[in-house]
A and B are shown apart, each in its own frame.
Chain A
Amino acid sequence: MPVIEVTNLHKRYGDLVAVADVSFTVEAGEIFGVLGPNGAGKTTTVECVAGLRVPDGGGVSVLGLDPRRDAAQLRQRVGVQLQESQLPDQLRVSEALELYASFYRDPADPADLIDRLGLGDKRNTAYKKLSGGQKQRLSIALALVGNPSVAILDELTTGLDPQSRRDTWALIEQIRDSGVTIVLVTHFMEEAERLCDRVAVIDRGRVVALDSPAGLVSTVVPEQRIRFRPSAPVDDRLLTDLPEVTAMQRTGSQVVVTGTGDVLHAVTSVLARNQIIAADLRLEQSTLDDAFVELTGHRPAE
């Protein structure tokens, strides 16, 4: 049985339709990504899942509970890390965790969680004095202190430097390995590619694609690009006649071949048969970035 089930979710703010029609399911133990350009309805969608907003239509079920009717039960079992939520400046790390732990029936040990999240030497530090990465880790710790079955993490690594971002990713994988189902809202394609088992791409309030990151890339932008410098002149026809090749270009001494399927093997074989060596050979595969642009017509932010 899926942990989260969203069916035909619809949410308006006045005349503005934030979520037109969104459906997806999240299975136990998954890291499920919700991707989309800014204003696509990602945050509203997860806010409905977390029970912070009342949908205008459609159904949401989390752990078999209705986020509205069973709000009290749900809050015990779902940890939420919201976009841009901060803490009072003077609140210390250990105080924040102990306070939040006191809200739950069966909380994690705050001291243990502080260590696990690498905040051990910051336990008596005021929130104001933490770095961006430390604030983010504290925020994740607060989402986990109730020992949740599901964690919803919104814009987890926005504003973090690349090292903190990678550290945070490693942390999320650890959390998943401990059995928590994770919903990750992000607009970083690299983050989704690295972490997510499956992603839903939301655009203008609708799900436009739902697949694993690799699956999404191979179905949406199946083309690969090969660049090399041939050691001897190459006849165009040699390459364009290959069924795998869809296009070929020359830029200076470089040849760029675009194709699908096993295009790399086809090209290198035909070159080898003609005693041509492909120097500086590079295979450029499409990324989730390309798929995202293809699906939404937007460049992902950053």
Chain B
Amino acid sequence: MHAFGQILKIETRLFLRDFGSPLTTVVLPLALLLVFGLIPAMREPDPQYGDVSFVQYFAPSLLVITLAMSAVNILPTVLATYRERGVLRRLATTPASPAALLAAQLVISLATILVSAVLLIAVGRLAFDVPLPRRPLGFTLALILGTAALLALGLLVAAVARTTKSAQGLAVPLFMAVMFFGGVYVPRFLLPDFLVQIGDYTPPGVQALLDAWTGTSPHPLHLGIMAAVAVAAGAIAAKLFRWE
């Protein structure tokens, strides 16, 4: 336990020291929220967003940025790099386990996602009249399952990739798909219906987040798919993951 605490402390420091990681996971979504929020028209409810403001409508997609960056981009890249450079193997020769390093990375991912979610919700509420999630339980559940599904996919990439380069090669298209279907590149109301529907079932499940935020119960099937992806990808990753 002592070793895990030390590893977590060091890994957190490395995460913060690597300028790009906190920037893309926490600062970028928050900055986008501020930019959109400062445009008055974006704060007006509009029927094309389902009678909520664009800021509200887009907030779950901002959260998708954090989730995608953290879970399917940074996590697999860091793990593949550590494996390729022999960091994990070296840990295996000490009384500490490389599993502690994996756990520390997961904790950092989760903490990043939590911090970003809290910031987006709080700033949205305080600055731009975005209500707090109206279904807090449903929202929490949707966030947990969506996070779990993406982290499992990130771990799967880390498990399948043999090198840092191939991890990035796999992570980038996955990352782009998650961002696209999460409505980050193009707001979803501009997408054709069938793409929107694919997006409903693409982790982390942006529709479930939006529903719970604005007051509808997240659809059980949306949540069920996230849970299924989490379990399936997680199980395969656990089976394939190698420390060296």
Contacts and interface: CB of A to CB of B under 8 A. Distances in A.
Interface of A: 50, 52, 72, 75-76, 78-80, 82, 84-88, 90-91, 95, 98-100, 102-105, 142, 146
Contact of B86 (A75, A85, A102, A105): A85
A103 B87 contact: no
Nearest to B3: A103
A82 B95 contact: no
Contact of B87 (A75, A78, A87): A87
Contact of A90 (B6, B18, B92): B18
A105 B95 CA distance: 9
Contact of A52 (B13, B82, B92, B95): B92
B95 A76 contact: yes
A85 B89 contact: yes
Contacts of A84: 86
Most buried by A among B7, B81, B86: B86
Contacts of B2: 102
Contacts of B90: 80, 82, 85, 87, 142
B13 A102 contact: no
A78 B85 CA distance: 22
Nearest to B10: A99
Given A75-B95, A76-B95, A85-B87, 13 more contacts: A52-B89, A82-B89, A82-B90, A82-B93, A85-B89, A88-B82, A90-B14, A90-B17, A95-B13, A100-B94, A102-B2, A102-B6, A104-B94
Contacts of B95: 72, 75-76, 103-105, 146
Nearest to B96: A103
Contacts of B14: 88, 90-91
A52 B91 CA distance: 11
Given A100-B94, A102-B3, A103-B96, A87 B85 contact: yes
Most buried by A among B3, B18, B89, B95: B95
Nearest to B84: A86
Contacts of A90: 14, 17-18
B86 A146 contact: no
Contact of A95 (B10, B18, B92, B96): B10
A75 B92 CA distance: 9
Given A75-B93, A76-B95, A91-B14, A99 B85 contact: no
Q: Return the 6 tightest CB-CB contacts between A and B, nearest first.
A: A85-B86, A80-B93, A102-B6, A86-B85, A103-B96, A85-B90
Most buried by B among A75, A76, A80, A99: A99
A91 B86 contact: no
Nearest to A143: B93
Nearest to A85: B86
A79 B93 CA distance: 7
Contacts of B81: 88
